[in-house]
């Protein structure tokens, strides 16, 4: 049975929430590292995965549809990346995860709301006429990379939350080795 992971953390009421920007912190690393998809969902489509390719790295972890909780192969006990799919409702799982992450984003968050909450994005990519991906770096003490795919009408579609420490620091050597394997 999935436990109420969000109840393990202090979650301020919506009216008490402070807007997040790139200086504000969300969940502490040690709590992020301990988070698991199975804490939020236990449906029949739940899977554990190995050698899962994400952001050019291999990971182990859990998935249901396009929702993933991933741990680097080199650190298999620490979740470092969470991806959420807001296009399919898996019993409200994505919103419960946002609460546990202490990330106050509405499920139908628009591009302007995202910028108001998180500040100016590091990068914006227009994927289609009605869809953009916005990349943010947030937190002072606890740095996270957020990538949000937003539909013009339906709002937030996908969200990646990645613990930046050591995960996104690609070395030229790693990149070269990956290119040689291709």
Residue 137 sits at the vertex; the CA angle it makes with 134 and 143, to the nearest 5 degrees, is: 150
Q: Count CA atoms closer than 13 A to 167's CA, side-chain side.
A: 26
Three-class secondary structure of residue 88 per DSSP: coil
Q: What is the value of pTM for the model shown?
A: 0.79
Number of CB atoms found within 10 A of residue 69's CB = 24
8 Å CB contact between 177 and 158? no
8 Å CB contact between 79 and 36? yes
Residue 6 has pLDDT above 70, yes or no: no
* Closest residue by Cα to residue 100 from 169, 35, 45: 35
pLDDT tens digits along 146-176:
999 999 999 999 999 998 665 555 433 334 3
Residue 180 has pLDDT above 60, yes or no: no
Provide the pLDDT for residue 174. Answer: 39
Where along the chain do its domains lie? 5-181
| pLDDT mean over 44-53 | 94
pLDDT tens digits along 68-89:
999 999 999 999 999 999 998 7
């Amino acid at each position: 049975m999935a436990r109420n992971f969000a109840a393990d953390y202090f979650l301020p009421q919506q009216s008490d929430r402070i807007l997040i920007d790139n200086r504000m912190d969300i969940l502490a690393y040690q709590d992020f590292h301990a988070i698991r998809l199975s804490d939020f969902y236990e449906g029949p489509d739940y899977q554990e995965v190995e050698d899962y390719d994400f952001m050019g790295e291999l990971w182990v972890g859990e998935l249901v549809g396009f929702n993933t909780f991933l741990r680097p192969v080199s650190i298999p006990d620490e979740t470092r990346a969470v991806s959420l799919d807001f296009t399919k409702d898996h019993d409200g799982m994505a919103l419960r995860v946002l609460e546990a992450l202490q990330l106050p984003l509405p499920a139908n968050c628009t591009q302007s709301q995202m910028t108001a909450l998180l500040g100016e994005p590091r990068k914006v990519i227009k994927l289609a006429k009605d869809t953009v991906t916005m990349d943010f770096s947030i937190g002072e003490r606890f740095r996270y990379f957020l990538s949000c795919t937003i539909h013009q009408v339906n709002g937030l579609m996908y969200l990646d939350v990645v613990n930046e420490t050591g995960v996104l620091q690609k070395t030229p050597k790693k990149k070269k080795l990956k290119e040689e394997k291709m």
